[in-house]
Homo-oligomer: A and B are copies of this chain.
Amino acid sequence: MSSVFGKLFTVSSWGESHGKAVGVVVDGCPAGLPLCADDIQIYLDRRRPGQNALVTPRMESDKVEILSGVFEGKTTGTPISLLILNEDQRSHDYSDMIQWYRPGHADWTYDMKYGFRDYRGGGRSSARETAGRVAAGAIALKLLSQVCKTEILAWVSSIGNVDSSMPIKEVTREAIEASPVHCPDVRVSKKMESVVKDAKENQDSVGGILTLAIHRPPMAIGEPVFDRVEALLAMAMLSIPACKGFEIGSGFAGARMHGSEHNDPIFVEQENFHTRTNNAGGVLGGISNGEDILCRVAFKPTATISRPQETVSRDGEKGTLVAKGRHDPCVAVRAPVVVESMAALVLADLFLQQRARIDLF
């Protein structure tokens, strides 16, 4: 089940970059959630390419159509099928992509695994596949928002060697969206823009790091041992194309610390339990404790670059490839809405599985 995600809130993703459409079937969304195409479109619009000079010029209107599962403005509890037509399948000379394996891409491994591949624009391994995830995530986000007032924000906190040190509590949706690189920190956003522009002008690309903050997550979700909140978030993030790393709370820096610094002291405020610090990142033993869930997610530089690169052909011939076609110089810039969507899918699924106590039936 390579393309099915989730146990009770289940997402089945389909579609290739240059096929007729991409889409997703969401099964297991409870009935009665108000939902219309616009609720989903907002997220697709945030993901959509062609918005400014820092992202790929491919133009897609990415209009979502709800084909099932919604009746009279509410979900019915039955599968919700979402369709997004591919429009800008630019007529293009793919002969290079048929022949030569692009370094950093899945051309080689798809051919090994499947014997052949849809080579147009990366086929299934294209980042275009994430449109379906974002559409599904929009539904999960609406569900979480309705039942727990959960808010999920992801933003760019590093590009290349430019880092933001903005405190998480100051980050707002508005500030994220106001920045062309989706970095809410006005002190560094311009610098990041320069880094991306420079990479583009140099026919190169650059990597970046996202921060993910989940405010008011459902309490006590997560299944100990394997289906921990952090384990499923890690899986969800590493399933995004170009993602190379994930950390929660203190993360890799936490491995440098002592227990006496790292342990988050617990206190009570207005009858609720809280921690003074949040090195845990909102989970203890795999279970959410109600504090913000905080993660960081690393994205490599876009694999497609226009510089000549050493590679081989399908037949094992040595050669040099100069990639053509449109691409983002920094995939991290477009990743926030995908990261938010994947986080929402994990949380919605764990939330629905939460039947842990017989005294709550």
Contacts and interface: CB of A to CB of B under 8 A. Distances in A.
Contacts of A97: none
Contact of A245 (B226, B246, B310, B358): B246
B109 A288 contact: yes
B251 A245 contact: yes
Interface stretch (A46-54, A170-178, A182-190, A265-273): A265-273
Interface in A304-328: 304-305, 307, 309-312, 316, 318
Contacts of A19: 67-68
Contacts of A238: 228, 230-231, 233-235, 246, 248
A46 to B, nearest CB: 21
A267 B312 contact: yes
Contacts of A256: 158, 160-161, 207
A248 B248 contact: no
A276 to B, nearest CB: 7
A293 interface: no
A192 to B, nearest CB: 12
Interface residues on A, range: 35 or more
Contacts of A123: 71, 76, 78
A43 interface: no
A80 interface: yes
Contact of A79 (B12, B202, B222, B309): B12
Contacts of A167: none
Nearest to A6: B1
A87 interface: no
A146 to B, nearest CB: 7
Given A289-B108, A358-B143, A207 B262 contact: yes
A124 interface: yes
Given A15-B81, A32-B115, A104 B287 contact: no
A266 B311 contact: yes
A2 to B, nearest CB: 3
A180 interface: no
A103 to B, nearest CB: 4
A208 to B, nearest CB: 6
Contacts of A264: 103-104
A199 interface: yes
Contacts of A288: 109
The 7 A-B pairs with the shortest beta carbon distances in the complex, nearest first, are A106-B285, A2-B223, A245-B247, A205-B259, A235-B235, A31-B114, A109-B287
13 contacts: A22-B68, A23-B67, A101-B266, A105-B285, A112-B287, A113-B287, A124-B224, A232-B235, A233-B238, A234-B238, A238-B248, A252-B296, A266-B312
